[in-house]
Amino acid sequence: MTLKAVESMTRSQFDKYGVQSSFDASGDFPSIMCLSLNDCVVHGVASEEVIREGDKLTIDLGFSYLGLNIDGAFNMFFEKPEKADDKSLKKGRTKKIEEYKYLEQLTKALFYEAISELKAGDTSGSITYRIETFFNKYFPKKYSLLEKFTGHGIGKKLHDFPRIHNFGMRKVEGVNLPNRSTICIEPMIIEQKDGS
């Protein structure tokens, strides 16, 4: 299956349920979704690239329904089902998939830590502080938080105020989050090239 085929299936589901992609509606992105294969962290574009066994695909969807935007991402792992007697499979499994899964578990734990004590009136900096503190405590040194992208407010606009940084803020910094505000918290982790 190609990335274009994934996009095509998604488009048909959008049409079926009457939702519109928030990504291509903005005119800033050439696809209705982000499809990031393997080491591509974010903003991969649908192409004729084929998804193969051992690949990790990150699907990032943004769509609007009844005037409100929704934005979220998840990973899919393409593995051959294990059989109890298939010793060659275990040998042939890519180490990378196991590493991706481990990283996904850690990142989910980081996300839940970021929202664990979140309440109206908290500062955006308090979220940033929890993300950075958890990251520094639990993540192996070869990983780092992606600097370029941030979380954000969401609602009538896909990317709204405030920006939710992943590091570099104290608890008291940033803006106070009003009651009923909706935000996207988007910690993104990368492996440093030199492995340090």
Same domain, 106 and 162: yes
Same domain, 73 and 119: no
At 5, list the tokens: 């085929």
- The last residue of a domain, from among 79, 114, 133: 79
Same domain, 62 and 101: no
- Please give the pLDDT value at position 93: 46
- Please give the pLDDT value at position 112: 96
* Average pLDDT over the chain, rounded to an integer: 89
DSSP three-state, residue 153: strand
| Counted domains in the chain | 2
Contact assessment for residue 167 and residue 174, using Cβ atoms and an 8 Å cutoff: no
Residue type, 35: L
At 1, list the tokens: 């299956």
DSSP three-state, residue 188: coil
Q: CA-to-CA distance for 121 and 16, rounded, in angstroms?
A: 39
pLDDT, tens digit, for every residue of 14-69?
999 999 999 876 677 889 999 999 989 899 999 999 999 889 999 999 999 999 99
Same domain, 98 and 169: yes
- Please give the pLDDT value at position 148: 86
pTM over 0.75: yes
- The last residue of a domain, from among 49, 79, 109: 79
Instruction: List the chain pLDDT tens, one digit each, 196 residues.
Output: 999 999 999 999 999 999 999 987 667 788 999 999 998 989 999 999 999 988 999 999 999 999 999 999 999 999 865 554 455 445 444 677 888 899 999 999 999 999 998 999 999 999 999 999 999 999 999 999 988 899 999 999 999 999 999 999 999 999 999 999 999 999 999 887 654 4
Contact assessment for residue 128 and residue 167, using Cβ atoms and an 8 Å cutoff: yes
Q: Show the domain range for 123.
A: 89-196
Same domain, 112 and 151: yes
Q: Does residue 84 lie in a domain region?
A: no
- Please give the pLDDT value at position 192: 76
Query: Which CATH number characterizes residue 192's domain?
Result: 3.90.230.10
Q: Does residue 135 lie in a domain region?
A: yes
Q: Does residue 70 lie in a domain region?
A: yes
Q: Does residue 52 lie in a domain region?
A: yes
- The last residue of a domain, from among 79, 97, 128: 79
At 158, list the tokens: 């896909």
